Amino acid sequence: MDYISAIVLVLTAVFIVVIWFMSSPRKLSASEKDRVRDKGIMHYTSLKSANLIVSERRIIASTKHKTRTHHAYFFGVESIPANILICNKVLDKECAVIITHLSKSQIDALRIRREDFAIAHKGDFVIETQNQIQIKNSNLIGNALFSNRFKIYRQVQRLCAIILMILFALLIIYPIVQYF
């Protein structure tokens, strides 16, 4: 194998690791844990599902991604950037279920997605007896501010995907060109 093929393979591996790292959820920082402890978390849903959540005291994990581990998704109770709400189709939801007084074990089980800063819980989220639940109408969500941090993340993610495609193309085309 010559140097160009080796370089392309190494760069491809690096970009695969970068994309994997950017798409994997991370643990909450101490300040994020404090914010969740103080303000709680919100789960956007339909009014019918919100009433079901309150009666069953459980948020069933999303099954949209067949290949991924199923998670229940939330946001912090604060101003959420508009582009994040749009990307997650939150604006279409009727209401938000706000859960407060989370236990330490509940908070420790939460992760944050790097791509949109949504709070994720692996599997179903069980609402414990000390948790308080409140349903708020979606018109109370308020005006969300645009997040440059999210915009930059999406641009970097797209750039990595484009570079990865170019590297794969080089990996395939280079041996063919060498053959002829």
Q: Mean pLDDT, to the nearest integer, of 19-47?
A: 83
pLDDT of residue 65 exceeding 60, the answer is no
Range with the poorest average pLDDT among 29-43, 65-79, 120-134, 149-163: 65-79
* pTM exceeding the 0.85 threshold for the entire prediction: no
| pLDDT given for residue 152 in this prediction | 66
Range of the domain at 110: 3-179
Residue 172 to residue 176: CA distance in whole angstroms = 7
Alpha helices in the chain (DSSP H): 3-23, 30-39, 47-56, 82-87, 104-108, 148-179
Question: Which pLDDT tens digit goes with each residue over 78-130?
Answer: 655 555 555 555 556 778 888 999 999 999 999 887 776 778 888 889 999 99
Domain count, the chain: 1
Quick one: average pLDDT of 159-167?
Answer: 80
| pLDDT of amino acid 98 | 87
Spacing of C-alpha 158 from chain mean position: 16
